A = this chain, B = another copy of it.
């Protein structure tokens, strides 16, 4: 029983006698043996493993991407190697080496809240791109030599802005994110251009966005609702993501303000909890599942990196936090109420 025969039995080669096969199989079963994919990987030069690089799996939007990606990869016999990005400054060269050393079959990069200008991430992507195909969830940039998937927000942003406007909102603020950051920059631009088209550009006092967590949402809305004079406070919010929206809603409630009567709010990502907030959160669906599955398929079929962009339309999912179910009537008693309640 040479090693080659065992290989043949394992791979179901037809040129093995039935007696031999049975004998080998018996030993395999007795030992619960499975051939080392480490050795297979080394021999074949294919690890059948895809890396997913993201800021934090704690963000449910990323978790949804990873979940779908894992499922899709496994269907083709590939598996997922997880890599949470450390903060800037902690992404040592050593960690990048580690990523290259793994000889992954491909990398799915979910930058999200990562600064465009983070030089460490650029170095990471540049170096990685020489070794494996990359697909990233990020707005297209001419200098990126791999596939970028992103959402065309223009339709949804227009719908969201007009929706809020038609419901009587004339002071609409954007909240969360940061303009110099890949993804939130794109979202900000989309929202901003629509607000300007309506003649409702957010005044500078609304601030320059700021973060992607619940705490960031709380802080920002608290600032606007206390520092600004009542007549200048926003009556509607476009949030960078649903987490920020969640924080903002919480803060508004704590201040005794009603949603959507006093402040309407629209989130982004359409995360799993959106239908379950009080009121249910109107949000923009970013097609996480489709992005993830198609990213994996691209990685599996790609032989070399090539610049390309794959666009999916984002769609506004209307629930109650934007005030749609109240119509214009919901607006009437708002101002007095809001100003009285929030003036602390």
Interface residues of A (CB under 8 A from B): 32, 34-42, 47, 49, 56-58, 60, 63-64, 66-67, 70-71, 74, 77, 79-84, 95, 97-98, 100-103, 127, 130, 214, 246-247, 249-250, 253, 272-273, 275-278, 280
Contact = CB atoms under 8 A, between A and B. Distances in A.
A97 B37 CA distance: 10
Nearest to A71: B84
Contacts of A79: 81-83, 98, 102
B47 A58 contact: no
Nearest to A278: B278
The copy count of this chain in the complex is 2
A82 B54 CA distance: 14
Given A42-B38, A60-B60, A70 B82 contact: yes
Contact of A273 (B35, B63, B80, B273): B273
B71 A66 contact: no
B37 A102 contact: yes
A64 B35 CA distance: 33
B60 A82 contact: no
A24 to B, nearest CB: 15
Contact of A38 (B41, B95, B127, B275): B41
Given A38-B103, A80-B81, A273-B273, 20 more contacts: A34-B100, A35-B101, A36-B42, A36-B101, A37-B98, A39-B42, A56-B67, A57-B66, A60-B60, A67-B84, A70-B82, A79-B83, A80-B82, A214-B272, A214-B275, A246-B273, A247-B276, A249-B278, A250-B275, A277-B278
